[in-house]
Structure 1
């Protein structure tokens, strides 16, 4: 088993190569589709049909945006948690999807990337739904761990023989410190997810926005203790800004 790391639009992309074929540990962004396909055919010298499975760890643009386009090009199956399909449903969901696309462009601009087409269908139709503790179809050395908090459907993918795991956005880095991601929709579940990872046999963690990190270098207790107690997402942030503005106006009058 070998994990290839590709530089994505705003995130790291992890492509697994083993005897069963190729496994993409996340759906990346729409802007990454050509990059992934070219890596498979040119760098690895393999046909696109060797990509067998694409896992969507959660529905944000840099983790799900390229999944369906890659499925069309390669014939790979797309897998996700059952809740992923409804994450952006309804008016509120479509609004959140639009905000998340704008945030992706904002991050890209901050790291010097041009504005690329990143729109994708916010309603996912996976070929496979994944449950906690099951192994990935066709890749039996990989185990699914349900680690919600960032969203209600986050997945961690653990390679049991080598004690390595891809945790997507469970941890991000700000000013050199590992911290909870934004948004953080379910803070209590997030703490439980961190505790589960801390107590697991995983030795090395691969993240979407952080270099591979040894468990011994992660102060899980510190992150858990300092994680927000209330949800932090677009709706709560907007509501809090409105409340603050109204409070200040009241004080002025």
Structure 2
């Protein structure tokens, strides 16, 4: 087993290679399809049909954007959570989908990446429904763990033999400190997920945006100190910004009187 770490459009890509096939630990962005295809064919000298399973940890553009295109290209199966409703369902969901795409374009521009087509279907039908503790078919040494909080359906992928875990956006690294991501829709579930990671205490933690890291006690302590008590979402951030602008406007008006 070998884990290849590729630098994707705006996130890390973890492609696991075995003699019998390839496992992709997350669904990447739509802009990464060509990169994955080229790496498999030119660097690994394997047909793209050797890609057997794509895990989608959650539905954000840089984690689900390439999944459907890879399924059509490689004939692979998609493993992800199945909930009573799609993450981007309804009017509110479509507004969130649009906002998430705009944020992805913004991050890409900050990273000075060329403009690429990032649009993908917000509705994904899995071939394999993820369940807590299940072994990934064809890759039985990898295990699915539910780690919700960032969204309601986040997954982590754990390799017990090497004590390695891919946690997607469960935590992010900013200025050498590990903190919760934005957004956190379910702070109580998020706290449970972080505790689960701490109890597992893996040797290597694969992050979606900072590569492979080794978390120490002080890293967990800082993370626990910064756990949100209330949801941190786009809507709440927008409301805070709006209230701030209104407050500034009223103060200026009072000064002018």
TM-score normalised by length of structure 2: 0.93
Q: Is the 8 A contact 1:27 1:54 kept in 2?
A: yes
Whole-Å Cα distance in 1 between the matches of residues 11 and 146 of structure 2? 21
* Equivalent runs, 1:1-253 vs 2, <5 Å: 1-83=1-83, 86-216=86-216, 219-249=219-249, 252=253
Whole-Å Cα distance in 2 between the matches of residues 134 and 237 of structure 1? 36
CA RMSD, Structure 1 to Structure 2 (Å): 1.6
Greater shift after overlay, 78-87 or 131-140? Answer: 78-87
Q: Is the 8 A contact 2:179 2:222 kept in 1?
A: no
Whole-Å Cα distance in 2 between the matches of residues 165 and 218 of structure 1? 19
**SS at 1:33 equivalent:** helix
Distance 1:84 1:234, change over 3 A: farther
Whole-Å Cα distance in 1 between the matches of residues 151 and 241 of structure 2? 22
Distance 1:176 1:219, change over 3 A: closer
Q: Is the 8 A contact 2:158 2:165 kept in 1?
A: yes
Whole-Å Cα distance in 2 between the matches of residues 83 and 173 of structure 1? 29
CA displacement at 1:124 relative to structure 2: 0.8
Greater shift after overlay, 205-214 or 81-90? Answer: 81-90
Greater shift after overlay, 33-42 or 234-243? Answer: 234-243
TM-score normalised by length of structure 1: 0.95
Whole-Å Cα distance in 1 between the matches of residues 129 and 53 of structure 2? 12
1:58-96, Cα deviation, whole Å (9 max, x unpaired): 100000000000000000001101139610111111111
Whole-Å Cα distance in 2 between the matches of residues 57 and 7 of structure 1? 18
Alignment gaps of 5+ in structure 1: none
**SS at 2:145 equivalent:** strand
Pair member with larger Rg = 2
Whole-Å Cα distance in 2 between the matches of residues 133 and 218 of structure 1? 28
